[in-house]
């Protein structure tokens, strides 16, 4: 029997990764990573203004490079046996497109205009618009925010679109629709030339754009036009139907089949967010919180539809039927900064290295500093009055989104050194993770255990042990280093017809788990007290009182 292979494409914050996978057993034949060249140079971004934009050419070039590279590495007749491609991306990361569905930044007149590029998930330029949406929603009898946790975020679709429409008149006259990254790449691969034919995924539409089957789709036109007339018509542009990631966007276009050197029968799946496909690649189970841990975290949980009934979890990033696994309720939460917190501290410590001309020394220190900090922090005694930090360096995603919040470090003195500050930062990120777990439980959704995925989960045992100690639950670490791309490959195998549903693909293609962390009960009492201190410090930051 002829073997069948699929591609899982994972668009992250800094790079795109492709994995070429055997559909029979999940074996990864080849993998390739492409770092976005324009993003790496810091082009089109302004961190001080919370503006983070990515050029679509970084995505297109990365798509072609990684797929071709994988095929070259695999060799033989593998290319002729590719049957499907599915992709995941960061989100909400939308872009303004013209009538043809082409991102405006791909047009000569907009090629260097940041507002015409993809607005990256962590772009927080739309905090004012998000606040207006939250206030505006209270005027309606129907709670249109009920399925996104009751709070709309500046990281999401409508806030970002409204901000661009208000602040860029030229762009306003050219934009015909606003499209998520995960919806645009399948449209590109299938040769789309009319934005009205673009298929929107339930994942992006439900979690970020207020689409809900209970509303019959999006909120009514009046919801948007009474917020701002500039939004007129945008709610009606191709949002009538949404699709799960187990459905096909179409077949690959002749142009892209030739460009990539694969059959013109390859099926292209509907796209989804990285954390959603990562949960599938990490073999998510009902009521296990699957944590994709990278620069930020995305915390995913699935529950049977019948079991959820009327349960609504407040303050998370949404709950949508079919958004992770078709036929189940997918719930999403997460932290706006996780690995980014450690990277920030590393950058501060290594700044003096920029004064050293020897780049080899710079790289050696930079590459080992987190591991050395972890080893030193692990040796420190755990005490109730240790230095304490709050992890909101990039605002707070959940519970209760507020991107204007700031982080803090308190209790420092002349004895405070780098390992002690690092220890406080690690505990803060883990306290933030516990706040998410507690919110699910408090709102009536049980959490049976934790599943860890991503670079931090794989490479940072000190951080993982601290997390399981603080949350008080076992934490299983998935074997695959590419769970997001692996999940995309599982969906690709499903849409290509190799499996009838994605659960079958998970069973056959999943790599299993290679380590479990268990809570150290001797730390429970001290961490319980420090968690209360963390909540008090956060309350003071947010409200000015304990």
Q: Examine the pLDDT at 534 and tell me if it is beyond 80.
A: yes
User: What would the mean pLDDT of 50-66 be, rounded to a whole number?
Assistant: 97
* DSSP per-residue codes, 413-446: -TT--HHHHHHHHHHHHHHHHHHHHHHHHHTT--
Q: How far apart are alpha carbons 240 and 460 in whole angstroms?
A: 44
Q: Examine the pLDDT at 309 and tell me if it is beyond 80.
A: yes
Which pLDDT belongs to residue 272? 97
Evaluate whether 5-282+480-511 and 339-451+525-543 have a shared fold: yes
Top-level class of domain 339-451+525-543:
alpha beta
Q: Examine the pLDDT at 476 and tell me if it is beyond 90.
A: yes
Which pLDDT belongs to residue 441? 97
Q: Examine the pLDDT at 542 and tell me if it is beyond 90.
A: yes
Q: Examine the pLDDT at 1 and tell me if it is beyond 70.
A: no
Q: Does domain 5-282+480-511 have CATH number 3.30.1370.110?
A: no
Q: CA of 98: how far to CAs of 103, 172, 174, 187, 295, in Å?
A: 7, 11, 6, 13, 32
User: Tens digits of per-residue pLDDT, 168-219?
Assistant: 999 999 999 999 999 999 999 999 999 999 999 999 999 999 999 999 999 9
Q: Show me where the domains of the chain are located.
A: 5-282+480-511, 339-451+525-543
- If one counts every other C-beta atom within 10 angstroms of the C-beta of residue 523, the result is 16
Residues contacting 22, CB < 8 A, separation 6+ = 3, 4, 5, 28, 29
Supply φ then ψ for residue 473, to 5 degrees.
Answer: -135, 150
Q: Is 356 exposed, middle or buried (0-12, 13-18, 19+ CB in 10 A)?
A: exposed
Q: Examine the pLDDT at 99 and tell me if it is beyond 90.
A: yes
Which pLDDT belongs to residue 357? 79
List the beta strands (DSSP E) in 338-415.
388-390, 408-410
Q: Examine the pLDDT at 472 and tell me if it is beyond 80.
A: yes
Q: Tell me the pLDDT band of 420, cut-offs 50, 70 and 90.
A: very high
Claim: this prediction has a pTM higher than 0.75:
yes
Q: How far apart are alpha carbons 148 and 145 in whole angstroms?
A: 5
Q: CA of 439: how far to CAs of 175, 190, 256, in Å?
A: 39, 41, 45
Q: Examine the pLDDT at 2 and tell me if it is beyond 80.
A: no
Which pLDDT belongs to residue 283? 95
Q: Examine the pLDDT at 464 and tell me if it is beyond 90.
A: yes
Q: Examine the pLDDT at 69 and tell me if it is beyond 90.
A: yes
Which pLDDT belongs to residue 376? 98
């Amino acid at each position: 029997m002829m073997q069948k292979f699929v591609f899982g494409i994972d668009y992250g914050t800094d790079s795109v990764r492709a994995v070429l996978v055997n559909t029979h057993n999940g074996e990864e034949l080849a993998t390739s990573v492409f770092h976005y060249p324009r993003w790496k140079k810091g082009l089109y971004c302004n961190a001080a203004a919370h503006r983070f934009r990515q050029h679509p050419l970084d995505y297109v070039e990365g798509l072609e490079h990684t797929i071709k590279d994988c095929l070259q590495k695999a060799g033989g007749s593998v290319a002729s046996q590719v049957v499907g491609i599915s992709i995941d991306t960061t989100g909400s990361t939308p872009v303004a497109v013209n009538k043809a569905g082409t991102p405006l930044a791909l047009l000569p007149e907009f090629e260097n205009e940041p507002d015409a590029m993809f607005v990256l998930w962590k772009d927080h330029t739309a905090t004012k618009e998000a606040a207006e949406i939250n206030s505006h929603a209270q005027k309606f009898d129907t709670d249109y925010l009920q399925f996104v946790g009751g709070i709309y975020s500046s990281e999401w679709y409508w806030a970002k679109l409204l901000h661009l429409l208000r602040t860029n008149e030229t762009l306003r006259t050219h934009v015909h629709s606003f499209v998520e990254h995960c919806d645009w790449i399948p449209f590109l691969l299938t040769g789309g030339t009319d934005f009205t034919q673009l298929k929107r995924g339930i994942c992006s539409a439900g979690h970020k754009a207020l689409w809900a089957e209970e509303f019959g789709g999006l909120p009514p036109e009046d919801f948007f036009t009474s917020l701002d007339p500039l939004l007129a018509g945008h709610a009606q542009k191709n949002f009538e139907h949404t699709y799960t990631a187990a459905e096909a966007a179409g077949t690959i276009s002749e142009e892209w089949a030739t460009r990539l050197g694969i059959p013109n029968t390859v099926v292209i799946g509907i796209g989804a967010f990285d954390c959603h496909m990562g949960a599938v690649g990490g073999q998510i189970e009902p009521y296990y919180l699957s944590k994709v841990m990278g620069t930020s975290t995305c915390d995913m949980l699935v529950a049977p539809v019948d079991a959820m009934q009327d349960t609504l979890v407040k303050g998370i990033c949404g709950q949508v039927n079919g958004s992770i696994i078709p036929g189940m309720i997918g719930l999403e939460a997460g932290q706006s900064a996780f690995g980014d917190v450690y990277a920030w501290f590393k950058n501060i410590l290594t700044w003096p290295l920029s004064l050293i001309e020897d780049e080899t020394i710079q790289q050696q220190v930079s590459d080992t500093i987190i591991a050395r900090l972890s080893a030193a922090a692990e040796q420190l005694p755990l005490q109730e009055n240790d230095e304490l930090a709050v992890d909101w360096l990039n605002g707070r995603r959940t519970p209760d989104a507020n991107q204007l919040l700031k982080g803090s470090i308190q209790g420092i003195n002349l004895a405070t050194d780098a390992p002690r500050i690092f220890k406080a930062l690690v505990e803060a990120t883990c306290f933030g993770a516990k706040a998410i777990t507690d919110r699910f439980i408090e709102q009536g959704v049980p959490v049976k255990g934790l599943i860890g995925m991503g670079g931090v989960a794989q490479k940072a045992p000190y951080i993982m042990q601290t997390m399981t100690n603080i949350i008080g639950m076992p934490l299983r670490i998935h074997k695959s280093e590419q769970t997001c791309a692996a999940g995309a490959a599982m969906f690709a195998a499903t849409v290509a017809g190799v499996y009838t549903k994605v659960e079958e693909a998970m069973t056959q293609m999943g790599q299993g788990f290679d380590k479990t962390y268990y809570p150290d009960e001797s730390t429970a009492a001290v961490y319980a007290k420090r968690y209360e201190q963390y909540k008090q410090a956060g309350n003071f930051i947010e409200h000015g009182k304990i």
